Amino acid sequence: MAKRWYGPLMAVMVLVTVDVLLDGPLRHLDFAVHEFCDAHVTGGLHATAHAVTKLGQRGDLVAVMAPVAVVAGVRGRSWRCPLMAAVIVGGLSLLQVALKEVFPRTYPFGDTDVLFTHGDAYPSGHTLNAFALGWVILELLVVAFPAVRPRLPAGRRRTIAVVAGAVAATALTVADEHWLTDCLFSLALGPILLHGLIVLDPFANRR
């Protein structure tokens, strides 16, 4: 992603946040989407949407990441891969806590949208996890198992991470686990975080 996209993506984050704070049209759309999904996304469809949200579940992603990071570390005879993976997970978690504490917001399953009292719905942490931690897993995978690198070149790894973020955001909205605007904010922030990780290249062998 070129840096020229930073401005538009940051503008999206600002506009969505202002809309939510001012009870604008997007926030009204939030409730309309919530009512539709609550009424029509049930049974097997809801179970499927919920399962897809696991693309952004930090615990599940870390459970996959940890053994791959260990293998990558053993193969490279370095602590760099597991250490950097832990730093990224911790840093992303702290970022999410900080963002969510600025605008406490309730989740849609309570059937009320309340700001500045309790809740940590805004923005969607699951969506950010899918972008960033999904990419980390793929990067560790090609270090741990070099034979897969030709099938997972850098561009493809980036694309998979972007798709994972978008799919997770959609599933979270459809499963009525997040307001639409929670996910819109994270869909704008996720690519910026991903690009930052790619530029830093935390798993490169710098010996």
76 pLDDT tier (thresholds 50, 70, 90): confident
> What is the arithmetic mean of pLDDT over 126-148?
97
Q: How far is CA 135 from the centre of its chain?
A: 10
Contact 170, 178 (CB under 8 A): no
| Predicted pLDDT of residue 206 | 60
User: Which region among 36-40, 74-78, 87-91, 189-193 has the lowest average model confidence (pLDDT)?
Assistant: 74-78
The whole-angstrom separation of Cα 20 and Cα 6 is 21
Is residue 120 predicted with pLDDT exceeding 60? yes
Residue 193 pLDDT > 90: yes
Give me the residue spans of the domains in the chain.
3-200
Residue labelled with tokens 């840093």: 91
- Give the integer Cα–Cα distance in Å for 54 and 42: 18
Contacts for 55 with CB less than 8 Å, ≥ 6 apart: 126, 130, 134, 164, 167, 168, 171
pLDDT digits (tens, 9 = 90+) for 88-101: 999 999 999 999 99
pLDDT of residue 125: 98
Please determine, for residue 195, whether its predicted confidence score (pLDDT) is greater than 80: yes
| One-character DSSP codes across 164-198 | HHHHHHHHHHHTTSS-HHHHHHHHHHHHHHHHHHH
- The band of 17, judged by pLDDT with boundaries at 50, 70 and 90, is very high
Is the confidence at residue 207, as pLDDT, over 70? no
Question: What's the confidence (pLDDT) of residue 198?
Answer: 96
Predicted local confidence at residue 57, as pLDDT: 97
105: confidence class by pLDDT, cuts 50, 70, 90: very high
pLDDT band at 35 (very low <50, low <70, confident <90, very high): very high
Q: Report residue 97 as tokens.
A: 């806590």
Q: Who contacts 172 (Cβ-Cβ below 8 Å, separation ≥6)?
A: 53, 56, 124, 126, 127, 178, 182, 183
pTM of the model: 0.95
Angle at 182 between CA 188 and CA 174, to 5 degrees: 105
